[in-house]
Amino acid sequence: MEIAKKITLLFAILSAIIISLLSGFVWYFSNEFAFEDFYKRLEARVNIAAQLKLYEDDNNSVYAKMRNQYLERLPSEKEYIIEAGKPEIKVDIVLPKSFYNRINAGLMARYRTDNHFYAGKFFRNNKSGYIVVVSANDPVGFRELKDLQKILIIGFFLSVILSFVVGWKFSNYMLMPLRNIIKSVKKIKAENLHLRLDVKKGSDEMSQLAETFNNMLNRLETAFETQNNFISNASHELRTPLTIISGEVELAMKASDDSLKQHKALLKIKDESERLEHILTSLLGLAQSGFNGKNQPREKVRMDELLWEIKDSVNQVHPDSKIEIDFSSLPEDEEQLTLKVNKNLIKLAITNIVSNACKYSDYKPVNIILESKSNILSIAVTDQGIGIPESDVQHIFEPFYRASNTNKFKGYGVGLPLSLNIIRLHRGSIAIKSQEGIGTEIKVVLPIIG
């Protein structure tokens, strides 16, 4: 069943329950109090009948005259004078014992059967005690009660129908944004992943859903583009050393009598094999650091201590490197320097950045600044190297892409994409600022999550 139908049905059922309770409430109290005025009229007639028939008074003639002139005779009105102690004198029906018990207690008693009403009270004169009962019909009040019953029944069914219609309109109105999202999502396919959902202003659930879809589409589009670039570049990068190795093997086979040529060919094969191994290792690192949904093991790491380890690692690979670490902006609370990360991966990411800074600056001083503010930890790596041309900055995080001014430096264009994947895996980001011929600053921003 569709959500709109479920909402409509639930709305109609709840409305029916509420309306039925309200109708029952109205009916109960109407039934209880609808005849209150008629009972009072009967009770007045009980008192007048007792006065006229049980008491000898000079004013009885006046009472009788007033009754005849001002009190209309009720439909089927009857009077009964029952002497106390003679229960054999009956009224037109057998009244319940509770009726007489109330009279014996000195109170005015009431009783109704269908549309016939009774009121009675005990009176005592000089001779004996008497029970005076007056009965009559109330066709007007009974008819009004019947009319109210019909109105409530008709109103109940009309209200349920109306609530069903209103519920249907309401559910359609509330689900219209969701239907629009579904319709828009159905239009998005692999060939048009650049399309996005229209996000309305506000913080309601529909806006959040559309924004979540857009974020997912951003990741999917990035993944598709990365995959396409990865396959294209990887095939090119792998083909080059394999072609060289194949050519050198043929050359060595032809120069079977020339040991010098064979030696040079074998050295070339060795270099290209090492290059191929490095590329494959980098490709494996890229694959393992991607958003594959796997939970990487994490531990708490002091980032200031990790930077010293990174400095030592880079100095071992590049002994001529000059790395300076600036801790002048460190907070007093060491918790602001501690991150829960995968230590090996985060170390690899920052090491790649620092190593590139040393390599592309011809081993001029490289400055690392560690800061921690508002639950955000940042590591800024600044060099005085060749910089990155403005046209190349937007591509440097693409696998195997190398800037146009890096020809004299050995590299494979995998380090920065690998670092970006690792930083994103830790919910962080990388910002870059560079000027050709002056230097580059790469800032890694990571959230401090307890």
Query: Do 257 and 326 have their domain in common?
Result: no
Residues 285 and 212 placed together within one structural domain of the fold: yes
Under a CB-based contact definition with an 8 Å cutoff, are residues 356 and 315 in contact? no
Residues 268 and 321 in one domain: no
Q: Compute the distance between CA of residue 383 and CA of residue 87 in angstroms, rounded to an integer.
A: 120
Number of domains observed in the structure of the chain:
3
Domain-ending residue, one of 289, 322, 338: 289
Confirm whether 321 is domain-assigned: yes
**pLDDT for position 229:** 58
Residue 260 in any domain: the answer is yes
Q: Are residues 308 and 439 located together in one domain of the fold?
A: yes
Q: Retrieve residue 289's tokens.
A: 């650091």
Range of the domain at 308: 299-447
pLDDT-based confidence at 380, cuts 50/70/90? very high
Domain at 92, CATH number: 3.30.450
Mean pLDDT score across all residues of the chain: 80
Residues forming a β-bridge with 135: 78, 118
> How far does Cα 197 stand from its chain's mean position?
18
For residue 357, give the H/E element and its range. helix 343-359
User: Do both 240 and 354 map to the same domain?
Assistant: no
Is the domain of 388 the same as that of 441?
Answer: yes
**Separation between Cα atoms, residue 276 and residue 45, nearest integer Å:** 118
Query: How far is 43 from 62, CA to CA, in rounded Å?
Result: 19
Radius of gyration from C-alpha coordinates of the chain? 49
pLDDT of residue 56: 72
DSSP string for residues in 239-304: HHHHHHHHHHHHHHHHTTT-HHHHHHHHHHHHHHHHHHHHHHHHHHHHHHHS--SPPPP-EEEEHH
Question: pLDDT tens digits for 66-87?
Answer: 666 667 788 888 888 888 766 5
pLDDT tens digits, one per residue of 317-370: 788 888 999 888 888 787 888 888 888 788 888 988 998 888 888 888 999 999
Q: With beta carbons less than 8 A apart as the criterion, state whether 38 and 117 touch.
A: yes
Pair (266, 338) in one structural domain: no
Question: Is the pLDDT assigned to residue 379 strictly greater than 90?
Answer: yes
| E-only strand ranges, 74-210 | 78-83, 109-113, 116-124, 129-137
Start-to-end CA distance of the chain, whole Å, equals 44
Q: Do 124 and 90 sit in the same domain of this protein?
A: yes
Check whether 444 has a pLDDT greater than 90: yes
CB 121 within 8 A of CB 131: yes
Residues 263 and 309 grouped into a single domain: no
Per-residue pLDDT at 12 exceeds 50:
yes
Domain assignment of residue 173, yes or no: no
Task: Report whether pLDDT(39) > 60.
Answer: yes
